[in-house]
Chain A
Amino acid sequence: MKLFSQALCLSVAAFAFNAQAANPSQIEAQARKLWHDNIETGYQHLNEQTREFAQRAERWCAGHTAEGRKEVEQAWQEAFLAWQAVRFVDFGPVEANNRAWQFQFWPDSKNLIARKARYLLSADQAPAPSTIEDAGVAAQGFPMAEYLLFDEKFNNSDRALPAERSCRVLSLLAGHISSNTDKLLNDWQAFEEPYLSNDQYRDASVRAGMNALEILEERRLAQPMGLRGTGKRSVYTADAWRSSKSLATVQASLEGLKQYFLPSLLQLLRNSDQPELADRIEAQFEEVLENFPALDTPMAPLLANDHEFARLQGLWVDVSQLTTLVNDQAAVAIGVVRGFNSSDGD
């Protein structure tokens, strides 16, 4: 779409410009190659899991008795967590057609998901692929599927799955998500050359990890915990509250960063003038992840009870320390400056 075609045109121009400049150093080239391969692995996994989700939803809705709701829910969860693992990538093909928003429109303070669901389920015509395609980003991704599968009020209504129209919408939606990951994977593979030839993508990749950590710390943890803004604890500002998977998504994002983002960052740091930072960041990732699987639990009860809340605080402190190490110290060590980003503003 417009935003991406613009970005693409600009990157191509940048590539032409940079071709005349000196070759990026061997180390940086290796780090970028590793990033590209790792992110491709993450996208492949997302692609497989969403295909599985789409097939299961389709079979369940077609009445094949071997498939039950539980299997579909499980497939949704695995696909959604696969997305969490690569959610940090905020440049390149995921920008095309607002794909990132299509996968996950979040946060949704005004409950737009519920409003769009009512629209999808009540329109006059039978649902078709275009019903999803034309419905806007809030109706095109994992949160809408989560609504159909887990929303308590909806599940107690006469439209609850596997009611025919609801099931048809779920199948189409899962198919839409799956087809988006096909495109994402293909485009990422085709993106290899521009990505490797343009050394601006080193900074873009580091910033992607920095932004993801900042969002994780401030928006996905501090906000629902009532540590910012008005100070009110509210699970509704967290990810995936309908399925009680808020903290599972946090874990998946951290593991994704460790698996797909960290290795290249460590390479760059080990070749910087502060190589010791690499070990500290690696150790801090371990420390953060030690909060799991104990914290792989619904967030709402932790917010409701001060004793339990302390567990959440422990995680938040560990994540904050990691964010400081990466966003302040590591970024400085390898010379990446924070620019304006989407978190600016209120």
Chain B
Amino acid sequence: MTNLFRPAPLALAIAATVTVAGCAQSPSSAQNTPPATKATVVQHYADLAHANYEDALITARALDEATDRLIANPSEANMKAAKEAWLAARVPYQQTEVFRFGNAIVDDWEGQLNAWPLDEGLIDYVKADEYQHELGNAGATANIIASDSVTVGGETLDVSSLSPELLANLNEVGGSEANVATGYHAVEFLLWGQDLHGFDAGAGERPITDYASGADCTNGNCERRGEYLDAVTDLLVTDLEWMVAQWAPGNDGNYRAQLTAAEADQGIQKMLFGMGSLSLGELAGERMKVALEANSYEDEHDCFSDNTHNSHYYNGQGIQNVYTGTYRRVDGSLVTGPSLSDLVEQANPELDARLNSQLDNSMAALGVMKARAESSQNPMAFDEMIGPGNAEGEQIITNSILALVEQTGSIEQAARELGISALSPDDAGHAF
């Protein structure tokens, strides 16, 4: 994706960081357990990922069932329940994004689940004058739901029967990353519809009658729309099942086995690389600073539902999870174990205290964003915060960006402290 973010050089920030007294505690450094080693920390990282993907799967199944009910009986109550299930499913999934950078197996897979921004005209009807699609994308107005076949880049595809496999094949059709046929944002669009409010309050307002039968059907092809929603939610579930299996213990042939059998330093490098990449380049840069400085709601992450504040908040939570070795599951139970924090504490307690406190600061800053967006009185969604001349919104976002930039400096330092010299990505996503 895009690449615009240029924060202050981190080395400078590190050199000048004022020492923060140790006020944060590492939650996993229990009294009577053996000291953490790199190997046990990588093991526990795999446990954390497994629990997190299991939660993503559990909530995706609930979403699948809720959308099935909506398709069978398109009532306002069922639409509301489906939207709530989608919002709940985002909570664990956004926390898993920290596993994406560094673990090529996740990065190669995730495009089918969480690709954005999307040219939604590929999927369904759009209001043309409010629709800005990717330049040169031949699929941007294909409207699969309204068509028996689509032609993109000289290739004609039969889409008369909508199955999970077909949608998977249609993802990134014509070689455009904006042709997102699958995943959370496709489901989001099918539930909420286009957000036509720009920088003003309000999300997408898809009428429930878009799923009605017979003469009540609005905007045409209601049955096809239901078939699409059915197939795309089924695919989400099977995709997550696959990823859960990759992290499950006791399987010699899966990714977890490979990761835990490799040099422990490699695993530690992946953990730190995932934290730093999500923190700086992706969350602070792509997802916040670009949208803010260009006043661009096209660059808003959950743009149909206006749930962007939560996507950002739980991204931040995922970073903290990996550092502290702690994950709060959707059933409320807590996963804990040997952590990066334990390792850094052994090597440099002052740095560990500082990084823990910076992670807390980031969560506090993102918490302000979440609270402001969900405020019962006069809420301000992320797409309002990025509006031209919104000083309060700008401040809220800027505070989050700065907190993430600061913690990234300490993540780099933690890497050096743990003897990880190179923080370069592997070649995931490159096809030379």
Please determine whether chains A and B interact with each other in the same assembly.
Answer: yes
B176 interfacial contact with A, CB 8 Å? yes
Taking a contact as CB atoms under 8 Å apart, the answer to whether B12 and A101 are in contact is no
B2 CB–A CB distance under 8 Å? yes
In angstroms, Cα B420 to Cα A54, docked, is 50
The contact string, 1 if C-beta is below 8 Å from chain B, for chain A 138-163, is 10000000000000000000000000
Inter-chain contacts of A200 with B (CB < 8 A)? 9, 11-12, 15
Given contacts A228-B431, A231-B175, A231-B431, contact A112 B8 (CB under 8 A): no
Q: Which of B55-63, B294-302, B340-348 touches A?
A: B294-302
* B259-286 interface code vs A (CB 8 A; 1 in, 0 out): 0000000000000010011111110011
> Does B209 count as interface, using CB distance less than 8 angstroms?
no
Residues of A within 8 A of B5 (CB): 342
- Quick check: is B204 within 8 A (CB to CB) of the other chain? no
B3: CB under 8 A from chain A? yes
Q: What CA separation (Å) do A345 and B1 show in the bound complex?
A: 8
Flag if A230 contacts B132 (CB, 8 Å).
Answer: no
Contact A228 B429 (CB under 8 A): yes
* Residues 1 to 36 of chain B near chain A (Cβ within 8 Å): 1-13, 15-18
Sort chain B's interface into a size bin.
Answer: 35 or more
Closest to B175 in A: A232
**Alpha-carbon gap, A98 to B285, bound state (A):** 13
Assembled-state Cα–Cα distance A141/B390 (Å): 22
For B364, the chain A residues whose CB sits under 8 A away are none
Determine which of A2, A110, A203, A342 lies in contact with B132 in the assembled complex, contact meaning CB atoms within 8 Å: A110
- Output the least CB separation between A13 and chain B (Å): 4
Encoded as 1 (CB less than 8 Å from any B CB) or 0, chain A from 305 to 346 comes to 000000000000000000000000000000001111111111
- List residues of chain B with CB within 8 A of the CB of A229: 177, 429, 431
**Residues from chain A with Cβ under 8 Å of B402 in the complex:** 2-3, 6
Q: Report A211-265 residues with CB < 8 Å from chain B CB.
A: 215, 219, 222, 226-232, 234-236
Residues of chain A with a CB closer than 8 A to B273's CB: 344
Flag if A101 contacts B293 (CB, 8 Å).
yes
Whether the pair A230, B298 counts as a contact (CB closer than 8 A) is no
Measured between beta carbons, the chain B residues less than 8 angstroms from A20 are none
Chain A hits for B133, CB < 8 A: 110-111
- By the criterion CB–CB under 8 Å, are A136 and B294 in contact? yes
Contact of B175 among A112, A230, A337 (CB under 8 A): A230
**Known interface pairs A3-B8, A342-B280; A136-B293 also in contact (CB < 8 Å):** yes
Measured CB to CB, the closest approach of chain A to B296, in angstroms, equals: 5
Give A136's nearest chain B residue, CB to CB: B295
Q: Is chain B's interface secondary structure helix, strand, loop, or mixed overall? A: loop
Residues of B within 8 A of A203 (CB): 9, 11
A338 and chain B: residue at smallest CB distance: B424
Question: Hey, which chain B residues are within 8 Å of A95, CB to CB?
Answer: 6, 8
Contact B408–A340 (Cβ < 8 Å) = yes
Chain A residue nearest in CB terms to B406: A6
Within 8 A of A (CB), among B112-148: 117, 132-136
Min distance, Cβ B425 to any Cβ of chain A, angstroms: 7
Instruction: Tell whether, in the assembled complex, residue B117 and residue A228 are in contact, meaning their CB atoms are under 8 Å apart.
Output: no
**A338-B422 in contact (CB<8A):** yes
Residue B389 lies at the interface, judged by CB distance under 8 Å to chain A: yes
Interface residues of A, count at CB 8 A:
61
Q: In the bound complex, do residue A340 and residue B294 qualify as a contact, i.e. CB atoms below 8 Å apart?
A: no
Are A6 and B8 closer than 8 Å at their CB atoms?
A: yes
Q: How far is the CA of A95 from the CA of B295 in the complex (A)?
A: 18
**Does residue A124 face the partner (Cβ distance < 8 Å to B)?**
no
Q: Closest approach, in angstroms, between the C-beta of A156 and any C-beta of chain B? A: 18
Does B421 reach chain A (CB closer than 8 Å)?
Answer: yes
The answer to whether A112 and B294 have CB atoms under 8 Å apart is yes
Interface contact A228-B298, CB-CB below 8 Å: no
B101 on interface, CB distance cutoff 8 Å:
yes
Q: Is A204 an interface residue (CB 8 A)?
A: yes
The answer to whether B411 and A340 touch across the interface, beta carbons within 8 angstroms, is: yes
Residues of B within 8 A of A69 (CB): none
With an 8 A cutoff between CB atoms, is B79 at the interface?
A: no
In the assembled complex, the CB of A146 is this many whole angstroms from the nearest CB of chain B, namely 14
Contact of B136 among A11, A100, A215, A236 (CB under 8 A): A236
* A228 and B132 alpha carbons, distance in the complex (Å): 24
Q: Which of A115, A222, A344 contacts B276 (CB 8 A)?
A: A344
Docked Cα-Cα span, A346 to B432, in Å, equals 17
Q: Closest residue to B278 on the A side, CB-wise?
A: A345
A266 to chain B, nearest CB (A): 22
Whether a CB of chain A sits under 8 angstroms from the CB of B245 is no
Contact B294 A105 (CB under 8 A): yes
A219, B293: Cβ atoms under 8 Å? no
A110 to B429, CA, bound (A): 21
Is the CB of A273 closer than 8 A to any CB of chain B?
Answer: no
Q: Are B16 and A17 in contact (CB under 8 A)?
A: yes
Q: Is B47 an interface residue (CB 8 A)?
A: no
Most chain B Cβ neighbours within 10 Å, of A11, A14, A341: A341
- Residue ID in chain A nearest B178 by CB atoms: A109
A176 in contact (CB, < 8 A): no
Q: Which of A135, A204, A215, A236 has a CB less than 8 Å from the CB of B3?
A: A215
Given A14-B16, A110-B132, A344-B277, residue A338 in contact with residue B423 (CB < 8 A): yes
Q: Are A343 and B429 in contact (CB under 8 A)?
A: no
**Which parts of A2-21 form the interface with B (CB within 8 Å)?**
2-4, 6-7, 10-11, 13-14, 17-18
Query: B155-186 CB contact bits vs A (8 Å, 1 = yes)?
Result: 00000000000000000101111100000000
Residues of B contacting A108 with CB < 8 Å?
135
Task: Tell me the bound Cα distance from A341 to B18 in angstroms.
Answer: 22
Residues of B within 8 A of A111 (CB): 132-135
Residue of A nearest to B272 (CB): A340
Most buried by A among B2, B422, B430: B2
Asked if A107 CB lies within 8 Å of chain B CBs, one says yes
B398 in contact (CB, < 8 A): yes
Query: 9 new A-B pairs (CB below 8 Å) besides A90-B6, A134-B388, A230-B175?
Result: A3-B401, A7-B7, A10-B15, A13-B16, A110-B134, A219-B3, A222-B430, A236-B136, A345-B286
**What 3 pairs between A and B have smallest CB-CB spacing?**
A232-B175, A345-B282, A7-B8
Q: List 25 A-B contacts (CB under 8 A).
A: A4-B8, A14-B12, A91-B9, A105-B4, A107-B4, A109-B134, A109-B135, A110-B133, A200-B9, A204-B12, A227-B432, A228-B430, A230-B175, A338-B423, A338-B424, A340-B411, A340-B412, A341-B281, A342-B3, A342-B6, A344-B276, A344-B281, A345-B101, A345-B278, A346-B286
Interface set of A (CB-CB < 8 Å, partner B): 2-4, 6-7, 10-11, 13-14, 17-18, 90-91, 95, 98, 100-101, 105-112, 114-115, 134-138, 198, 200-201, 203-204, 207, 215, 219, 222, 226-232, 234-236, 337-346
